[in-house]
A and B are shown apart, each in its own frame.
Chain A
Amino acid sequence: MVQRLRVRYAKRGRLRFTSHRDISRAVERAVRRAGIPVAFSAGFSPHPKISYAGAAPTGVASEAEYLEIGVSRPCDPDRIRADLDVSLPPGLDVLEVIEARAGSLADRLEASVWQLRLPGADVAAAEQAVKEFETADRVEVERLTKKGMRRFDARQAVRSMAVVDDRERTAGQEPGPPCVILRMVVRHETPAVRPDDVLMGLRLVAGFAPPSPPEVTRLAQGPLDATTGEPADPFDVERADGDL
């Protein structure tokens, strides 16, 4: 392996229903189709050197997913971006490829920005629920995991949360059905607090229950900036190095 390439990609539309395993199969095939000289691990059953950092859950769309490919001869990142994008099905879209510098990509992904569209939910009720959630110290929620029902706190991981303007209603010509959009910055912790855990928290503290399943999108992830309270671009390190 002579080079590591870091890839930011999006999971959009109906492809949001892909699981982490589905994506890794699709990427391996796309790499073969694109003729990318991926490096293989040694040993009894060699595996392509592709690693994934913090994949969004099945059913959740994302504008900021990350993976890293080890290649056996130097490649032009822009060329790889184009070739890989063409070889992946539409909906798995390669946004940016950059040559890796020092440090682990996964370690930089400290927090995510999530957007939750809640069709049919009431704006005032949502605002009230967010207020009550934020004043609480702990909000214990339950989730069924492979190991059984787990109880954990969903409050501390949430760095910020707000009800944002319903752009569709203001931008659209005709007012559609009411829709609440929640935006939240959530730190990556163990156990992971997912957007639906926060939603459950809103229900527990304020009885806020949207009438249909949320449409969730990860907008960004990266190292948490202490001053802004927002995740920064995890590729800033590479870009800074590149400028030298």
Chain B
Amino acid sequence: MSVESLFPRLEALLPKVQKPIQYVGGELNSTVKDWDEATVRWALMYPDAYEVGLPNQGVQILYEILNELPETMAERTYAVWPDLEALMRSEGVPQFTVDAHRPVRAFDVLGVSFSTELGYTNLLTALDLAGIPLDAVARTDDDPIVLAGGHAAFNPEPIADFLDAAVLGDGEQIAIAISEVIREWKGEGAPGGRDELLMRLASTGGVYVPKFYDVEYHPDGRIKRVAPNRSGVPSRVFKHTVMDLDEWPYPKKPLVPLAETVHERFSVEIFRGCTRGCRFCQAGMITRPVRERSITTIGDMVEAGLKESGFSEVGLLSLSSADHSEIGEVAKGLADRYEGTQTGLSLPSTRVDAFNIDLANEFSRNGRRSGLTFAPEGGSERMRKVINKMVTEEDLIRTVTTAYSQGWRQVKLYFMCGLPTEEDIDVLGIADLAKKVIKAGREATGSRDVRCTVSIGGFVPKPHTPFQWAAQCDHETVDRRLRELRNSLRGDKEYGKAIGYRYHDGKPSIVEGLLSRGDRRVGSVIRAVWEDGGRFDGWSEHFSYERWMTAAERVFSGGSVDVDWYTTREREEHEVLPWDHLDAGLDREWLWQDWQDAVSDVEVEDCRWTPCYDCGVCPTMGTEIQIGPTGKKLLPLTVV
């Protein structure tokens, strides 16, 4: 049975909406396969606006891998803005894919990638527009399997009601494995309907099906236990790890949009995982171990990607890019290859040390030296020990002095507010640090033309980190500290004008905290917010704290839990956490020990260069660190 394109009906609505180009598809390197020739059909969603969702690496990688499989096809869908949503509702146009404008409900799987929890309300909009029941248990064999992935899927409990399944970790291999299970099941005539399919997926231990698990609670609101409610379902679900990134050199053909998006560049992941051990960083904890892509594969991917896309900028992505064992050679090799071609190279997520400046110099060889970014994260030496961000004040001053004296005029410094054990003085320490940075910069350059911007955000404790037990700081305290920091910076006659200050208020962090560490009971709050019109919670112009608090109060009234219980309450060691049955490989006892070390200012080294400290990932997941050096170099490209 073929499926008709919704485009003619959509087209009539497009003249009436903002930025209609985002809905028409047709991107360079996009793929439209024959519906009838595929057995397994995926709709991949990034639950935010197209301009944010299109550049997402996870979606682009899975899109390409799935479309390379015979009998399998993948199309993409994104959150539509409220102007189009209203028109789609009044004209009865359902949620569509941008590739061939097919209705999302016609696909076998709706795979949704959650980088952040703030996309949850957009999931509900998409399901509702698609005509898919919000409640997983109300779905029929005519509805797709709604499957979540991405970092937020490491605690999918707040959206458990709306999901059929979730997967943890790297998607490349598990997406193929799931396609194979679906292909076989459909080949047999889809015996037992969707429940049998879900059972086949769940029994592997690599796909979490929330409805096959029951949650019991203590009278005081804590979780008593989470356990499978049928036989054949494993009690724990494990994460997926791609071990050899050279075997998976995706994206090969990056999608090149017509519409403007947030990242206008070709991005190559140079490694996955990070063992720096920053205790606030969920990404660093759940993506272990470190697996490097080799210098030669990086070079090949950059060459092919630029050729396929026409992008003029390359981003080398990872959680801490300067940590690649051959980053110096990568930087030099790429800078040599693309010298004089107006190709920009960028290295986000770097650490605070002088080596970084060498890299940045290499990357800006024939471009401009505008700004460098460093992330000390904590304002005081003590705070940085608590979060295990091993940067001393001396390191920072020395690094920025080098940057200024080598021609960089602007330095950006990232910090967090509301960290565990934080006091006013730790945040005010940021002002002292910034002033010292400018003072050192002026001395080093003999000029007053140096600037520094302090950028600060609220800390949110995340699952599967040592801070998963921590009390989140209330927003009143965060806002007060941010205000005092601002006064201290602005009020300074000598340095105030040279220091920029960017911050967000603390309220959104509380909602993020509720969704990050929430359990299944939070699902009703998400639904209530969505019913009340909540959309695009990651956008300050759409986000409403009051809407979330009103909904939470209504949902939680008369019960034993509330927003504070989920956010500002510290957890005890043995409290069952909502995600305890989801296995990121981290040993719970190690996490607890690391939490205890945090509050006693004890630091932990990186296991790439010091002995293993038993975080548990490698033995549990059967993985190991994969790093170079390979000793290879990038040869010059052949001249055409």
Residues of A within 8 A of B (CB): 14-15, 17-19, 21-22, 25-26, 28-33, 35, 40, 44-46, 48, 58-59, 87, 89-91, 212-213
Contacts and interface: CB of A to CB of B under 8 A. Distances in A.
Interface stretch (B134-142, B183-191, B305-313): B305-313
A16 to B, nearest CB: 9
Given A21-B260, A25-B264, A32-B306, 11 more contacts: A15-B24, A17-B14, A17-B21, A17-B23, A17-B24, A19-B21, A58-B20, A87-B310, A89-B26, A89-B258, A91-B26
Interface of B: 7, 11-12, 14-16, 19-21, 23-28, 256, 258-260, 264, 306-312, 342, 368, 640
A19 B309 CA distance: 20
B24 A14 contact: yes
B368 A44 contact: yes
B309 A33 contact: yes
Contacts, number: 66
Contacts of A90: 26
B337 to A, nearest CB: 15
B16 A213 contact: yes
Contact of A15 (B26, B260, B312): B26
Nearest to B10: A14
Q: Which of B15, B19, B258, B306 has the most CB of A within 10 A?
A: B258
Contact of B260 (A25, A35, A87, A212): A25
A35 B342 CA distance: 13
Contacts of B7: 14
Given A19-B21, A29-B310, A89 B28 contact: yes
Nearest to A43: B368
B258 A18 contact: yes
B51 to A, nearest CB: 12
Nearest to A92: B258
Nearest to A34: B310
B312 A14 contact: no
Contact of A59 (B20, B256, B308, B309): B20
Nearest to A25: B260
Contacts of B312: 28-29, 32
Contacts of A48: 342
A46 B368 CA distance: 10
A88 B264 CA distance: 17
B21 A29 contact: no
Given A22-B260, A25-B260, A59-B14, A31 B310 contact: yes
A40 B16 contact: no
Nearest to B306: A32
A35 B20 CA distance: 30
**Which 10 pairs from chain A and chain B are nearest by CB?**
A29-B310, A33-B310, A17-B20, A32-B310, A14-B24, A213-B15, A17-B21, A22-B258, A59-B15, A18-B21
Contacts of A59: 14-15, 20
Contacts of B16: 213
A46 B342 contact: yes
Q: Which of B259, B312, B640 has the most CB of A within 10 A?
A: B259
Nearest to A59: B15
Nearest to A91: B26
Nearest to B307: A33
Contacts of B264: 25
Nearest to B312: A32
A22 B24 CA distance: 13
Nearest to A23: B258
A89 B28 CA distance: 6
Nearest to A196: B15
29 contacts: A14-B7, A14-B25, A15-B26, A17-B21, A18-B258, A19-B19, A22-B259, A22-B260, A25-B258, A25-B260, A25-B264, A29-B28, A29-B310, A29-B312, A31-B310, A32-B310, A32-B311, A32-B312, A33-B307, A40-B342, A46-B342, A48-B342, A58-B20, A58-B21, A59-B14, A87-B310, A90-B26, A91-B26, A213-B15
